[in-house]
Amino acid sequence: MTLMANMMRAGNSRRVSMACAPAGAMASRSEPLLRVDGLCVGTEHSDLVLDVSFDLAPGETLCLVGESGCGKSLTCLATMGLLSAPVKRKAGRVMFAGEELSGLSETALLRLRGREVSMIFQDATAALNPVRRVGDQVAEVLSLHEGLTSRAARDRTTELFEMVGIPDPRARLRAYPHELSGGMNQRIMIAMALACKPQLIIADEATTALDVTTQAQILKLLRRLQAETGAAMIFVTHDLGVVAEIADRVAVMYSGRIVELATADTLFDAPSHPYTRGLMACRLHAGTHNTGRLAAIEGVVPNPTARPQGCAFGPRCPQVTTTCVEMPALTAREEGHSVACHYPGDDR
């Protein structure tokens, strides 16, 4: 590890600007379905997501991991064009299937959302309208995007309910969200997201609120449906167990930035960023599921308005040196594996 890290340090000349790094990293792959390029998100007074770039191929699953507050949800929302004031996209582009989403009007985006790109939210019960029947809420997507009659939409919804494993689907159409369990509501959200067979699914902590058994069922379901429809997926979680199960590639975020981007195998075999390694260590500690905080790494994520100079992880990093007051760039360590650390893979 140390060797490698040194090699990387020696290869400083290969350091590239963040804006173009991912393009380079993915050059060998087929034309990506989604390309996020230099995305910056924030309010007038703060930067909440900084210079985030990644690609996603059709059918591929990218996991976004990191502690709470590191900018995963904002990255997802920015991708969907769903940011709302005072938070806005300050720089960067989002390309989807050759089209620049970040340049489209809200009206044009509305035609895409729910049809080409769908999103599944964390707390499904809160994400469903409490005063409308769940069947209607799902059928609405179908009549909206596919122009189905209410009758046809209802039949399709029943099929979808069946597909996501809702027992007695016809009766459930008339249920209200508060009458169903959290797991059941998440299945409904999934049915809603998949209704129009989108090319991209963004699942923001879709399983975090669920108990372990249900979580496993939902994951299985998502994997199956993804296989059936061939959709790509961004899956946000801070549970590495989930990552291991579902991810093709992983982007680790810390304080608004991607600090390590690699295939799932590489990441688990050779985690290179001290933060990633901290996450891995945490995984070995029992009971840190679902908390979103890392007991093994002391300290907390810095406030976005008061980040330390240089590497934001500095104050918590076991390997921190004086060099770290300079911002480490996200640098390709090898093909498909980039790290933002002055001492990647160094286990001094």
Cα Dmax for the chain: 67
Distance CA 72, CA 235 (A): 10
141 binds ligand ADP (CB under 6 A): no
32 vs 271 by CB, closer to ligand SF4: 271
Give least dist CB 144 to another protein, A. 6
CB of 293 to ligand SF4, least distance (A): 18
**Closer of 55 and 116 to another protein (Cβ):** 116
Chosen from Mg ion, ligand SF4, ligand ADP, none, partner binding at 314 (C-beta under 5 to 8 Å by type): ligand SF4
Q: How far is the CB of 201 from ligand SF4 (least distance, A)?
A: 32
Q: Are 263 and 337 in contact (CB under 8 A)?
A: yes
87-106 as b/e: b if 16+ CB within 10 A: bebbebbbbbbeeebbebee
Q: Which residues, including other chains, have CB under 8 Å from residue 235's CB and lie 6 or more apart?
A: 61, 62, 63, 64, 203, 206, 222, 242, 246, 247
Q: Least distance in Å: CB of 31 to Mg ion?
A: 29
Query: 124 vs 264, which CB is nearer to another protein?
Result: 124
Q: Tell me whether residue 73 or residue 226 sits nearer to Mg ion (CB atom).
A: 73
Residue nearest to Mg ion (CB): 73
How far apart are the C-alpha atoms of 10 and 196, rounded to whole Å?
A: 49
Read off φ and ψ for residue 215, nearest 5 degrees. -55, -45
Amino acid occupying residue 152: A
User: What is the rounded CA–CA span in Å between residue 113 and residue 124?
Assistant: 18
Binding status of residue 145 toward another protein by CB under 8 A: yes
74 binds, among ligand SF4, ligand ADP, another protein, none (CB under 5 to 8 A by kind): ligand ADP
In angstroms, give the least distance from the CB of 317 to ligand SF4. Answer: 3
DSSP class of 177:
G
> Which partner in another protein, Mg ion, ligand SF4, none is near 343 (CB below 5 to 8 A by kind)?
ligand SF4
Applying CB under 6 A, which part among 63-71, 209-217, 224-232, 278-286 lies near ligand ADP? 63-71
Residue 161 or 313: the one with the smaller Cβ distance to ligand SF4 is: 313
- Look at the alpha carbons of 187, 283, 70, 227 in this order and tell me if their dihedral is positive or negative: negative
User: For residues 84-113, which are near another protein according to CB under 8 A?
Assistant: 84, 106-107, 110-113
